[in-house]
């Protein structure tokens, strides 16, 4: 990794079966920039324990999220892909940050309040989650963390923890900044609303040709307008408006034909990623994670030793 590049970290948690909304909303923006940074991709399995109690599901999630990122094109030679639980520096710095902040401060976290309001158990791990997240970032001298606008507070909490530590012990840790993706619009689902598993309006990212066709043919169309807006708005994700102009002019009013054209273009786009994913084995994932954590530890061990010396643990 080049020392001249800024460092970027993103946490990976499996969200189950991915759809094209996940790809265009999160995966592609990351793919477009990750090689411009010294990028760390962390599988956040300790974070998952705040709500997940099924060990088989957790193990499967770890394999699946790594396979997803490799399949869409992330090169493990050009990014450090590792698992949080393989590096105990995270837990140590997380505990030190716990000792830096107050209970009232943690009680103001939007994500904690929202999850408890939705019925999630208010366990201590969920409560202190922001400090483990701050440790994830601070260990690697991270410059930027890609987040959605609604996640900006996560970085504010990380900066607060780092700031309190530095004020107490000296300028040891770097304060990260958020990286808000520009020009990432809402990806429409088959009903025109935002594509979401909870709405049941998705097109699967790694789906079979038949699954893609079924989803596309279910797209809601209306009888008004020059062309079916929901079909067109999804098609624009794959081609420019100029490329689509002649197609939609030629097949104006023939909604079934336009859906078939969209299904064909989606299949051309998805098939190579689907085939790559099918070739990735669990052993491949283990190898990527084992190599990645060794590279991650090269940085985190330096940081944790500076922290231990600063707080007085090192003799």
Does residue 305 or residue 119 have the better pLDDT?
Answer: 305
Crossing angle between the packed helical segments 282-311 and 89-98, to the nearest 10 degrees: 40
Residue that the structure tokens 């705040």 belong to: 50
pLDDT at residue 183 in the model: 64
pLDDT at 111: 85
What the block records as the tokens of 61 is 């999630």
Q: Is the pLDDT of residue 2 over 60?
A: no
Q: What is the pLDDT of residue 151?
A: 74
Residue reference for tokens 């998952």: 48
Tens digit of each residue's pLDDT (9 = 90 or more) over 33-67 = 999 999 999 999 999 999 889 999 999 999 999 99
For the chain, what is the mean pLDDT? 92
Highest mean pLDDT among 173-182, 191-200, 247-256, 297-306: 297-306
Every domain of the chain with CATH number 1.10.240.10 lies at: 197-276
The CATH T-level fold of domain 197-276 is Tyrosyl-Transfer RNA Synthetase (1.10.240)
What is the rounded average pLDDT of the residues 118-135?
94
Task: Check residue 272 and give its pLDDT.
Answer: 97
Listed in order, the ranges of the chain carrying CATH 3.40.50.620 are 7-185+282-311
197's CB contacts (< 8 A; 6+ apart) are 15, 16, 17, 19
Q: What's the pLDDT at 59? A: 94
**Given this model, what pLDDT does residue 142 score?**
97
The single-letter DSSP state of residue 189 is: -
Does the structural domain 7-185+282-311 have CATH classification 3.40.50.620?
A: yes
């Amino acid at each position: 990794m080049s020392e001249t590049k800024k460092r970027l970290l993103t946490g990976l948690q499996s969200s189950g079966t991915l759809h094209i909304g996940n790809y265009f909303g999160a995966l592609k923006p990351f793919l477009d920039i990750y090689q411009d940074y010294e990028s760390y991709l962390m599988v956040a399995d300790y974070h998952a324990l705040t709500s997940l109690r099924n060990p088989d599901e957790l193990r499967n999630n770890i394999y699946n999220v790594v396979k997803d990122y490799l399949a869409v094109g992330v090169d493990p030679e050009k990014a450090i892909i590792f698992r949080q639980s393989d590096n105990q520096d995270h837990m140590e710095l997380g505990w030190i940050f716990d000792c830096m902040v107050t209970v009232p401060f943690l009680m103001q976290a939007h994500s904690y309040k929202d999850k408890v309001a939705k019925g999630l158990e208010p366990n201590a791990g969920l409560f202190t989650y922001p400090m483990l997240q701050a440790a994830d970032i601070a260990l690697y001298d991270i410059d930027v963390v890609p987040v959605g606008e609604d996640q900006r507070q996560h970085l504010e909490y990380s900066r607060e923890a780092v700031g309190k530590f530095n004020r107490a012990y000296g300028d040891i840790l770097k304060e990260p900044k958020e990286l808000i993706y520009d020009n990432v619009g809402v990806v429409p689902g088959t009903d025109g609303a935002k594509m979401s598993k909870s709405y049941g309006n998705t097109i699967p990212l790694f789906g079979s040709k038949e699954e893609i066709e079924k989803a596309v043919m279910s797209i809601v169309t209306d009888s008004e307008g020059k062309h079916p807006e929901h079909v067109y708005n999804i098609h624009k994700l794959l081609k420019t408006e100029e490329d689509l102009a002649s197609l939609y002019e030629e097949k104006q009013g023939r909604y079934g034909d336009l859906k078939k054209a969209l299904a064909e273009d989606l299949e051309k786009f998805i098939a190579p990623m689907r085939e790559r994913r099918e070739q990735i084995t669990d052993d491949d994932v283990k190898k990527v994670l084992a190599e990645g954590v060794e590279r991650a530890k090269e940085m985190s061990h330096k940081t944790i030793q500076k922290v231990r010396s600063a707080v007085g643990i090192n003799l």
